[in-house]
A and B are shown apart, each in its own frame.
Chain A
Amino acid sequence: MAKALLYYPGCSVKRNSPWYEKSALAVLEALGYRVKELDKWYCCGATISLAADDVIRHLGAIRSLIQAEKEGEALGTNEMLTVCPMCYNVLARVNNLLKRDREKLETAARYLRDENLEKYSLSTRVIHVVQVLHREREKLGELVKRRLDGVRVAAYYGCTLVRPKDVAVDNPESPRVMEEILRSVGIETVEYPFKTLCCGAYHSVYRKNIAVANSGLILTDAAARGADIMVTVCPLCHYNLELAYRSMARKPGIRVMYLTDLLAYVMGLDDALSPETRSFLDKLREARRELVATPGGGNS
């Protein structure tokens, strides 16, 4: 029986990053997952409300957790999949908050009764696609159709996958899950110190200079350490990194793409790739293959 996942897409994956969704779902399908999008989902709010006296701003997340609980019974799973790490962060934190604070759970239940929603029984488990890929990394390795020898990749985590620590998908100070996923499909990874430095988040629509500076630092440092590609799993990080790249007078030789785009490419899932990503990777692979085949690194 195919393993099932309840899929919570979120606004930005649907509206701004359709190719990310495509490649992520294609990779999961190739791994044997049945991914079912929730019949109904609500805006997570993008950032969790930190005010201790707040309940109303958690309701969107709670409605989605309840929806997952309801649909999960029929599907035989309690795992709610997110691909956007902002959604992952908010939903997982609200889930944890409700487990700790039963009074808030009751307050929310009283309110949601008017919407004919059952009280949330805390059974939904929020997971991010990186966690699924990591637990399936051995199988990913078996599904490789193309090698990317000589191509070096820097994994960028940003904030929301690793902080706060109670929702971290890995060691928050030195995460390795994305590197382990990449290495399982034969891709060389690059270490650099800024993989959990904030990209500038929503400052790209408020104080753009901050997002451009932080994302620019992340990109140029990884490029200086020999990375050809920077992979991310976040639509906002992706946007900010590209924003910084476009603003640079001297472009570092590094390309930003989603982790699952790269995986889809090495797995030969070409229908899940945008024509630009596909042709970039084809060219890079060709160039590196010549380099690997030429003794002396192709300098002759």
Chain B
Amino acid sequence: MDMDGFVEEVVRISGRNPYLCYQCGMCSAVCPVAQYMDILPHQIIRLVQMGDPAVLESDAIWVCISCMACVDRCPRDVGPGIIIDALRQFKLRRGAEKYDYFQVPELGEAPSLALVAASRKLTG
């Protein structure tokens, strides 16, 4: 996968400025799923600032559920959750598929919106 210029594209997709982040850690503190992430939200933003494409291989970007807890509370209005969604978009627009519909045995009982939401977040 061609990673050149991924930061520019992530900035364009998200409409947010990652360079405003001063690493206060608010996003990681309020994230309801941080404990399931391999790297924390503020670390994701740091890697984006540094232009390190390793961030695109983190599992954490697929754990974020866009609950907006960090977006509402970011003191620099960076919108970490919005940037994380743009990282997912970067991958999905290049063919990534993170959802295997055959691996979900209880699909039939779950509300249909769960499937719609998962499909939107995890497939292209």
Contact = CB atoms under 8 A, between A and B. Distances in A.
Interface residues of A, number: 39
Contact of B67 (A11, A201, A206, A209): A201
Interface string A257-271: 000000000000000
A164 B71 contact: yes
Contacts of B32: 197-198, 200, 214
A202 B72 contact: no
A47 B68 contact: no
Contacts of B36: 207, 209-210
> Which interface residue of A16, A46, A200 has the most chain B CB atoms within 10 A?
A46
A52 B114 contact: no
Given A12-B112, A17-B111, A197-B32, A47 B66 contact: yes
Contacts of B95: none
B118 A52 contact: no
Chain B interface mostly: helix
B110 A204 contact: yes
A283 interface: no
Interface string A279-293: 000000000000000
B65 A43 contact: no
Size category of the binding interface on chain B: 35 or more
Contacts of B121: 47, 202
Interface string B85-101: 11001000000000100
B113 interface: yes
B54 interface: no
Chain A interface mostly: loop
A11 B65 contact: no
Nearest to B11: A52
Nearest to A17: B111
A239 B114 CA distance: 10
Interface string A143-171: 00000000000000001000111000000
Interface in B10-69: 12-15, 32-33, 36, 63, 65-69
A205 B63 contact: no
B12 A53 contact: yes
A52 B16 CA distance: 9
B124 to A, nearest CB: 12
B83 to A, nearest CB: 9
Given A46-B120, A198-B32, A206-B118, A10 B69 contact: no
B116 interface: yes
28 contacts: A10-B113, A11-B112, A11-B116, A12-B111, A16-B111, A16-B112, A46-B114, A46-B117, A47-B66, A47-B120, A50-B81, A50-B82, A57-B120, A84-B113, A163-B69, A200-B32, A200-B33, A200-B65, A203-B33, A204-B106, A205-B104, A205-B106, A205-B115, A210-B33, A210-B36, A210-B63, A235-B113, A236-B117
Interface of A: 10-12, 15-17, 43, 45-47, 49-53, 57, 84, 86, 159, 163-165, 172, 197-198, 200-207, 209-210, 214, 235-236, 239
Given A51-B85, A201-B117, A235-B111, 13 more contacts: A10-B113, A15-B111, A45-B120, A50-B14, A50-B86, A86-B113, A159-B67, A163-B71, A164-B71, A172-B72, A201-B65, A205-B110, A239-B114
